[in-house]
Amino acid sequence: MKPWGGRFNEKTDPLLERFSASIDLDWALYRYDIEGSKAHAEMLQKIGVLSKKEMKDIVAALGEIQKEIEAGAFTFSSGLEDIHMHIEARLIEKTGDAGKKLHTGRSRNDQVSLDMRMYLKDHLRDIERSLMALLKRLVQKAEQEKTTIMPGYTHLQRAQVVTFSHYLMAYYYMLKRDRERLKNVLQVVDVMPLGSGALAGSTMPLDRDFVRKRLAFARLSENSMDSVADRDFVVDAIYGIAMIMMHLSRLSEDLIIFSSNEVGFVTLPDALCTGSSLMPHKKNPDALELVRGKTSRVIGDLFSIFTIMKGLPMTYNRDLQEDKGPLFHAVGTAKDALAVTALCIAGMRIDRKRMERAVSESFMPAVEMAEYLALKGIPFREAHGIVGRLVRDCEKRGKTFKDLTASMLKKFSPLFEKDIFDSIDPQAILKNRKTRGAASFREVERQINAEKIYCNH
């Protein structure tokens, strides 16, 4: 291939053609490149650069090119570098001089920014819809498990009694924040850059607002240099996706542990697990392990785009070609991970008896026991020490709180009465917690009812 225009005497070295080609990735932008080109052609006709016939011929030919790509009949070549050049070359084959006029007032610099923004408007909305589907699954499962009690953990140690519903709603709120974050990213993306040219705009009387309305963008970019140099919207998008993946990874880790033979709180759907090539009894949580593993690559995508951007001078530099790999990978991974997780939440079975047994065999009501003493006037730090010594004594004797009597408790504090056993009963604890947002039956019910309304909007 000879470089564009008459500036060069030599053809591009084949090594550089191969090294600089991005068509293996950016072909995915073809629909957006074609739609943006149609809008640009319509605008050029409006300002008199194209005749009505030329515009119609270009628009029709672009539609034919799209069908060729979608039918697998389009020939891609590393010699044509990127999707923009492929489409333009094919357009010129089809329309001759009319096709050569299409690039009037346009640079690949503002063209690729437009394509990527259009791509993200579509795909971030897809991810948002997938997020909402998962949120609905979580609320549905939480409603089914409102009275299922389980240990809540800190440091992977049993800490306090909660409901499985409250646990699920914790992840619900993480992912709800992710959805709101994506909505903010969509506002950042919704800016129309075409008309900025290579970096300085154009002497042509381009009607940028016509193109903005035609392509359904909310507003125009304000500074032509920033327009072509900017990839903040890509960084924001990958950051938002990395946050989603991080939350899915944490949920996956929990469910992998909960589904282990040692814990056995949940059974994962067979359809999301695999067997062993050697061990006939194995049921491995591969889908969740892959969500956890793929999260590291999406976080790598975020660091990749940061590293690409950190040293770039104004304005456009070819380094920006490398933004597509991280972005496309992050988007595709998040879509699959959200779908897998939604299937897992919907299909997993809960062993309520095993969860309840884990609660009853623990010292988790120690917190409420200390609060019982605090309500009777003992300073909390002193109450904390009393109950800590009681737990140590129980461990030494191989007993649990269920094995104790009021007289045994009085050896540790005379303020213990028979009503202490009502205070540390797991069901009573979940009824008696008073703070908003607490792991109580009443608060979980309130959260679920509120979020059902959110999910149905």
Q: Residue 9 pLDDT > 80, yes or no?
A: no
Residue 4 has what pLDDT? 55
Average pLDDT over the chain reads: 96
User: Is 166 a catalytic site residue?
Assistant: no
Q: Residue 306 pLDDT > 80, yes or no?
A: yes
pLDDT band at 218 (very low <50, low <70, confident <90, very high): very high
User: Which of residues 67 and 12 earns the better pLDDT score?
Assistant: 67
- The CA distances from residue 413 to 362, 370, 420, in Å, are 21, 11, 12
Q: Which of 129, 128, 122 is nearest to 28 (CA)?
A: 122
Q: Residue 86 pLDDT > 60, yes or no?
A: yes
Q: Residue 223 pLDDT > 80, yes or no?
A: yes
pLDDT tens-place string over residues 315-350: 999 999 999 999 999 999 999 999 999 999 999 999
Determine if the peptide bond prior to 203 is cis (ω within 30°): no
- The CA distances from residue 48 to 56, 196, 198, 203, in Å, are 14, 19, 22, 14
Q: Which two tokens stand for residue 373?
A: 């003493």
Residues 83-108, mean pLDDT to the nearest whole number: 97
pLDDT band at 140 (very low <50, low <70, confident <90, very high): very high
Q: Residue 3 pLDDT > 90, yes or no?
A: no
pLDDT tens-place string over residues 348-358: 999 999 999 99
Percentage of the chain modeled with pLDDT above 70 = 99
pLDDT tens-place string over residues 175-193: 999 999 999 999 999 999 9
Pairing of strands 219-220, 191-192: parallel
Residues 102-130, mean pLDDT to the nearest whole number: 98
Residue 12 has what pLDDT? 80
C-beta separation of 22 from 105 below 8 A: no
Helix (H, G, I), strand (E, B) or coil at 152: strand
CA atoms of 365 and 378, how far apart (whole Å): 18
CA atoms of 114 and 380, how far apart (whole Å): 61
Percentage of the chain modeled with pLDDT above 90 = 93
Phi-psi label, residue 264: left if phi above 0, alpha if psi -120 to 50, beta otherwise: left
Burial (CB count <10 Å: 0-12, 13-18, 19+), residue 398: exposed
pLDDT band at 5 (very low <50, low <70, confident <90, very high): low
Task: Pick the catalytic residue from 77, 260, 276, 296.
Answer: 276
Q: Which of 161, 162, 166 is nearest to 362 (CA)?
A: 161
C-beta separation of 98 from 50 below 8 A: yes
Q: Residue 2 pLDDT > 70, yes or no?
A: no
| Side-chain half-sphere exposure of 271, counting CA atoms within 13 A | 9
pLDDT tens-place string over residues 395-429: 999 999 989 999 999 999 999 999 999 999 999 99
Maximum alpha-carbon separation in the chain? 101
pLDDT tens-place string over residues 241-289: 999 999 999 999 999 999 999 999 999 999 999 999 999 999 999 999 9
CA atoms of 441 and 428, how far apart (whole Å): 10
Q: Which domains does the chain have, with CATH numbers?
A: 14-104 (1.10.275.10), 110-153+161-352 (1.20.200.10), 358-455 (1.10.40.30)
Amino acid at 26: D
User: Is 155 a catalytic site residue?
Assistant: yes
Q: Which of 173, 170, 158 is nearest to 426 (CA)?
A: 158
Task: Pick the catalytic residue from 86, 155, 202, 296.
Answer: 155
